[in-house]
Amino acid sequence: MTSSESSRKSREHPGTASKTAEHRARKGRESHYVARETPQAKRLMSIPGVGVATGVAVSCWIGDIRRFPSAKKLVSYFGIAPKVRESANRETHGHISKEGSGMVRWLILQAALVGIRMSKGPGRGQYLGVSRRRGKKIARIAVARKLLGTIYHMMKEEIDYEEFVRRGSKRAVSSP
């Protein structure tokens, strides 16, 4: 829509733009309220890169984390797992399956990208390593998978991101 079409529509329907702005503001307040009141969304928003929209959407789509026996099942649920084709003794891996909600998958990818830019943590290191070997697009998906694995374990153990990182560094130090 060009600016002339937009100004023509606003002249034809006065108040439409202000109603849309009010609607967006109301929805924003509602999502902030849900994020404050839902422990899962709060927990997810402690991850670098995960904001209100991503936290609320992912926690709503996951629901009860006990539905998923493993992090791999959660990754498949959101369609970030590769397609696998098998025939006789051959197995080929293809593009991501794109099952589940496209909007939530996009939010997870955006959160992973923001996390890459914001932190110097394991997600960034993984991104740099995979992007050198396989390319940026594949690296983005790899980091999104890692983010979903983090989300799975945080929700399963009911811990926030700082506790998750602390436990991970303790495991790395204690392993021989």
pLDDT for 174: 46
Return the percentage of the chain with pLDDT > 90, whole number. 35
The whole domain housing 106 covers 19-67+100-163
- Asked whether residue 5 is assigned to any structural domain, the reply reads no
- Asked whether residue 172 is assigned to any structural domain, the reply reads no
- Asked whether residue 13 is assigned to any structural domain, the reply reads no
Residue 27, amino acid: K
pLDDT for 1: 53
- Asked whether residue 7 is assigned to any structural domain, the reply reads no
pLDDT for 109: 93
Question: Rounded CA gap, 43 and 158, in Å?
Answer: 8
Hey, what are 72's tokens?
């791999």
- Asked whether residue 90 is assigned to any structural domain, the reply reads no
Question: Rounded CA gap, 57 and 31, in Å?
Answer: 9
pLDDT for 36: 66
Task: Provide the number of structural domains found in the chain.
Answer: 1
Q: What is the pTM of this model?
A: 0.74
- Asked whether residue 85 is assigned to any structural domain, the reply reads no
The CA-CA-CA angle for residues 74, 79, 83, to 5°, reads 110
Task: Summarize pLDDT for 128-156 with one digit per residue, the tens.
Answer: 899 999 999 999 999 999 999 999 999 99
Of the candidates 150, 137, 55, 54, the residue with the CA atom closest to the CA atom of residue 96: 137
Residue 77, amino acid: Y
114 pLDDT exceeds 80? yes
- Asked whether residue 45 is assigned to any structural domain, the reply reads yes
Question: Rounded CA gap, 133 and 171, in Å?
Answer: 27
- Asked whether residue 41 is assigned to any structural domain, the reply reads yes
DSSP label at 175? -
Q: What is the DSSP string of 6-61?
A: HHHHHHHSTTHHHHHHHHHHHHHHHHHHHHHH-HHHHHHHTSTT--HHHHHHHHHH
Token look-up 């080929």 returns: 92
**Is 79 strand, coil or helix?**
coil
167 pLDDT exceeds 90? no
